[in-house]
A = this chain, B = another copy of it.
């Protein structure tokens, strides 16, 4: 089954290349970005400015192939791609929760963004703790590695040759 989507806007950030990027928003504290929404979708932003955080879904446009087994940035052993947040996924959809500073016209001003400059945006959802926070009792291989995400940045391992 083929599924088609369209870009609803573009994410602009200081990260011009994959190398050296933070690997999660938790490592992108304070990094500012701007999102420009295409004119035909601006009406959909009404009341978004009431939310302190939003979920961004975007197309990882530099990813051109996938790997089902990967050694993620935060570990040294291989895991299934669906047990990681690595970008080379069968459907290259990225998810980031960012802080929303302001909405002005067709522009969103955001903080704590770990996204590559020029990334096509697919969807914006308001972040609602009652829906989006669950009491996770186990986080698999992340358990002993996750604290490193704050200081870790990417290398070229998921770059297409």
CB distance from A24 to the nearest CB of B (A): 5
Contacts of A134 in B (CB 8 A): 53, 97, 99, 127
Cross-chain contact B79 with A140 (CB below 8 angstroms)? no
User: In the complex the two chains form, what is the Cα distance from A23 to B49 in whole Å?
Assistant: 23
User: In the complex the two chains form, what is the Cα distance from A95 to B140 in whole Å?
Assistant: 21
Known contacts A59-B3, A91-B122, A131-B26; A139/B46 CB under 8 A: no
A47 at the interface (CB under 8 A from B): yes
Contacting B at CB under 8 A, from A121-148, are: 122-134, 136-142, 146-147
Contacts of A24 in B (CB 8 A): 130-131
Known contacts A97-B132, A131-B149; A41/B6 CB under 8 A: no
CB distance from A111 to the nearest CB of B (A): 11
Cross-chain contact A5 with B3 (CB below 8 angstroms)? yes
Contacts of A7 in B (CB 8 A): 1, 3
17 A–B contact pairs at CB < 8 A? A1-B6, A6-B90, A25-B131, A41-B82, A45-B82, A48-B83, A51-B139, A51-B140, A53-B136, A54-B82, A57-B91, A84-B126, A126-B140, A128-B136, A129-B133, A130-B142, A132-B133
